[in-house]
Homo-oligomer: A and B are copies of this chain.
Amino acid sequence: MVKNTQVIFSRIPDSYIPEVGKDMAIKETEFDLDAPLSNGQFILKQLSLSIDSYMRGRMRDPSVKSYVDAFEIGKPLKCGTMSLVTKSNNPKFKEGDLVQSSGGLFEQYTLVQDEKQAEEYQVKNDPRDTGLPPSYYLGLLGMPGMTAYVGMMKIGRPKKGKTLYVSAAASSVGQLAGQIGKVYGMTVVGSAGADDKTVYLKEIGFDEAFNYKNDDISTKLKEVCPKGIDIYFDNVGGKTLEAAIANCNNYGRIVACGMISQYAEHPETAHNLMQIIVKRLRVEGFIVSDEADMKEQFRKDVTQWLLDGKINYKESVAEGIEKAPEALIDVLQGKNLGKQIIKVADE
């Protein structure tokens, strides 16, 4: 038997920032690595976990419907995971395979019980071919990266010489969205909530970056987007969306990717929606899981851009699964710089 630490969803938070110990708890259990496996079963050892702000949206009353199910009280949190198969009685998952999930369990070891549960996991041995770290497949080459790619390619449609504005631009989604704009020759402006983040954004090629906490966003956008905004990649919503609409050019497109401001207790909203008509804007939402047919092109393009040095990528890595609750709080408070990863174990 080995120790199997789990990160449990224990209560629906009272406020936007969940509490460690009350809303998320560490639970120590045991796991039998040599347990006999029925047909279809296999054992996963988690290597890396992805921490994403949208996890907060799953900490809700399950009767409130959304595009992704609520977490179950008393069960481990779920998000992106990269894992190693350590034992298998399932021909699709071989011992030594790397396995990815966008809803893997936050625990050190998982016994995948049956074919239904196995559907949550996909063999992903790509890191062995590309030489890229497996954790990249949780961020840049995983769901967050694909979110940026789908939003930009399907809705934003980058165009040389035009201006792109990305909010929460230092997030794992935001940094790729902006860099895709640069690959296509756009002028790219990003906002973030800390000065070290805006420095980082300029380092990775953003033309302009500002700390939204220091300025009136609309005034700042007028200054840094003198030709107006043609594509706004929205990760924030609320007053940031309002400021972007105010600075959009005619026929601008707003990629409605996330609205993190709307999880606040008294969220602000945009009051200038009339401009959608006046400026003939298109505001369009999407959910990355709808766009599975873009996955292959996404992986191909982004891997190539990365290997060619056209895009950069930064991770913020916390070591040890017990760091997951604090890391989620950091992400919700915008403290992480780069994609937040929990390193659980080496291969």
A284 vs B250: C-alpha distance when bound (angstroms): 12
User: Nearest residue in B to A259 (C-beta to C-beta)?
Assistant: B274
Chain B residues, CB < 8 A from A285 = 276-282
- Whether, in the assembled complex, A132 has its beta carbon less than 8 Å from a beta carbon of chain B, the answer is no
Chain B residues, CB < 8 A from A277 = 67, 256-259, 285-287
Where chain A touches its partner, the secondary structure class is: loop
Question: In A327-342, which residues have CB < 8 Å from any B CB?
Answer: none
Chain B residues, CB < 8 A from A283 = 276, 282-284
User: Which 7 A-B pairs give the minimum distances between C-beta atoms?
Assistant: A277-B285, A276-B285, A283-B283, A282-B284, A262-B274, A256-B276, A259-B274
For A67, A241, A278, A286, the residue with the greatest tally of chain B CB atoms inside 10 Å of its CB is A278
Given contacts A278-B287, A280-B285, 7 further A-B contacts (CB under 8 A): A241-B273, A256-B277, A259-B274, A269-B271, A270-B273, A277-B287, A280-B284
The count of chain A contact residues (Cβ–Cβ below 8 Å) is 28
Question: In A276-325, which residues have CB < 8 Å from any B CB?
Answer: 276-287, 290
Chain B residues, CB < 8 A from A241 = 273
- What mask results when residues 241 to 273 of chain A are scored 1 for a CB within 8 Å of chain B, else 0? 100000000000000111100100001011101
For A256, A267, A282, the residue with the greatest tally of chain B CB atoms inside 10 Å of its CB is A256
A91 nearest CB across to chain B (Å) = 36
- Whether, in the assembled complex, A66 has its beta carbon less than 8 Å from a beta carbon of chain B, the answer is yes
- Whether, in the assembled complex, A237 has its beta carbon less than 8 Å from a beta carbon of chain B, the answer is yes
User: Nearest residue in B to A282 (C-beta to C-beta)?
Assistant: B284
16 residue pairs of the A-B complex, CB under 8 angstroms, read A256-B276, A256-B277, A257-B277, A259-B273, A269-B270, A269-B273, A276-B283, A276-B285, A277-B287, A278-B287, A279-B285, A280-B290, A282-B283, A282-B284, A282-B285, A283-B283
A287 vs B262: C-alpha distance when bound (angstroms): 30
Chain B residues, CB < 8 A from A273 = 237, 241, 256, 259, 262, 269-270
